[in-house]
A and B are shown apart, each in its own frame.
Chain A
Amino acid sequence: AQSVSQHNHHVILSEAASLELGCNYSYGGTVNLFWYVQYPGQHLQLLLKYFSGDPLVKGIKGFEAEFIKSKFSFNLRKPSVQWSDTAEYFCAVNGNSGYALNFGKGTSLLVTP
């Protein structure tokens, strides 16, 4: 069965600090990879996605992620976080042969002024 691991459950950063959130998955076949963000009290919104091609993908609000196939990883990065980035971040994986979108347990990010 597929599983998704997010290494950091809670992250606290100061504004302008750089961010990297780890995501590893266990699945041997072709995968589609996603990062979703959930702002307080809101629904999940797509930050970025990877299906194929350039392993470095850029998403909204200055976020990017890099797919490293050999490491089964899809880490999320942002060079300089803002207070408005305070949210919960979820990595999700869909194996190309399945219908399930499997989520990690999420990382809660708090950005302090």
Chain B
Amino acid sequence: EAQVTQNPRYLITVTGKKLTVTCSQNMNHEYMSWYRQDPGLGLRQIYYSMNVEVTDKGDVPEGYKVSRKEKRNFPLILESPSPNQTSLYFCASSSNLRRYTEAFFGQGTRLTVV
């Protein structure tokens, strides 16, 4: 089954404690992206990757890092989480947005930073 898998689904952490949210897709997609969803703000793009070792900032990259060492994986790293990063995070993948295909989304990770 084609899917985008995020882990963990729920996470509560303390300020400053480094964490990683994993994202994996089994569709051999080139394009992957991370979004955060906040009430009243919709989804905002954090980082995206066009292919292995190629990443770029989205609209709200501050406080986040990503890496793309393998095509299927695109982890989101919070080196020093802060309470304003409490949010619902979604990973998405697409074969190529520029070639008229839609994005597929993971189940989401609800992160609380206290």
Chain A residues packing against B (C-beta within 8 Å):
6, 9, 32, 34, 36, 42-46, 49, 51-52, 90, 94, 96-106
> With A and B bound together, what is the CA distance between A103 and B33 in angstroms?
13
Please determine whether A44 and B90 come into contact, CB atoms closer than 8 angstroms.
yes
- Nearest to A36 among chain B residues (CB) is B105
Q: Please report which residues of chain B, range 82-102, place their CB below 8 angstroms from some CB of chain A when the two chains form the complex.
A: 90, 92, 97-98, 100, 102
* Residues of B bordering A, CB below 8 Å: 31, 33, 35, 40-45, 48, 50, 56, 58-59, 90, 92, 97-98, 100, 102-108
A88 vs B106: C-alpha distance when bound (angstroms):
16
Q: Report the nearest B residue to A1, measured CB to CB.
A: B59
Cβ contact of A100, chosen from B42, B58, B105, B107, cutoff 8 A: B58
Let me know if A104 and B97 touch, CB within 8 A.
Answer: no
A49 surroundings in chain B (CB, below 8 A): 102
